[in-house]
Structure 1
Amino acid sequence: MTTDEPVDRDADDVDAAEAGSTDESPTQRTREELRKTKERLGEGADKAVKGFDDNIVDLLSWLLDTETRARIYVYLRDNPQSTSDEVADGTGLYPSTVREALAELHDEGTVERDKREASGAGNNPYEYEAIAPSELVQGVVGDVQRELNAVFNLDRRLGGESPDGDTEPVRISVGDADESSADDADADEGDATAADDDTDGAASDDR
């Protein structure tokens, strides 16, 4: 009579079988690698955007006096017709800080406001919109020009002369973007014409 005896499997065979059962298929591995790659790219893009935003805010902080006002300006350029509460939610600033800054920016003409239209009765809040960057720059140019001329006339002032006698050699002008593009095109055309003339001259010399 024969009896079924348990067959001892080699421990290495058992480990290999268990490992095989948990191994990912090539498709699963590829998907996992793609997911990790997308996460890395996303993190890099987020850092790039944050760096860009931070640089813009730093520059605008100089133009608008504070980082708070700069962040509000950037938010309103990206989200026009926002209420003060929406600006506070979008920027993470305190609502009272936002309201105070918006009032100042409105008084200075940096932001415009209108009552939000609502179908029902009730309180219709103001919605705000920031002026164009070109208008912002032109508004700052006059102040910068005065300050630079004051520095230019420093020795005159230290000598006790009246500021009324100051000269104003510093002149800052802001041209229209379309005009600048046209000027650049004219300059490029002029350079091309000059280059053609030089080529023609060289060819005649060779003859």
Structure 2
Amino acid sequence: MSYLRPSLVLLVLFTALTGLVYPFAVTGIGQLVFPAQANGSLIVQDGRVVGSELIGQAFTSDRYLWPRPSATSAADPADPSRTVDAPYNAAASTGSNLGPTSAKLADRLTASSEAWQASGLAQPIPGDAVTTSASGLDPHISPAFALAQAPRIAAARNLPEEQIRHVIETSTEGRTFGIFGEPRVNVLLVNRALDRLSSQGTRDVS
């Protein structure tokens, strides 16, 4: 018992500390100091959640910024043993893991390039316009990709291109702490700003 009792006491003590006290303390601090971030950086509009600053969405309308492609997938409704493409599926974050010899990758890059050219967007094509991110959920695109879409958005919204460019430029985020990462544009935040700018824009960006 001289060995068993201290062992049991330590087991109970550290179970309580690491399994209860520490998680509750971290959760409480997060809710007090960073409530928005701790709850997923959710964006609420008209009383309902329309998205998160951390997870991209598959915008396709000419009125909005388009995100970079996503390689996430989901179970095939017709055959659960198989998967189908499901862009920005937050329940299945992943990259494509396709190598340079992949025919599927080559076909997707070709299709994305052709879609870009068919839209009359500027050349050359920004890399993130045709490539997926490692997570498949990246909410940001490069400033080059965003600004290249300004003429299309301006035409769709019947607004001066300079106004669209101004929204994008003022929404561009710099490097973290000035040194980490690259300048970036949050697609959802810019699209909401575009809806506020346009007198004819819909406010439903879900």
TM-score (norm 1): 0.31
TM-score (norm 2): 0.31
Q: Which has the higher strand share?
A: 2
Higher relative contact order (CA 8 A, sep 6+): 2
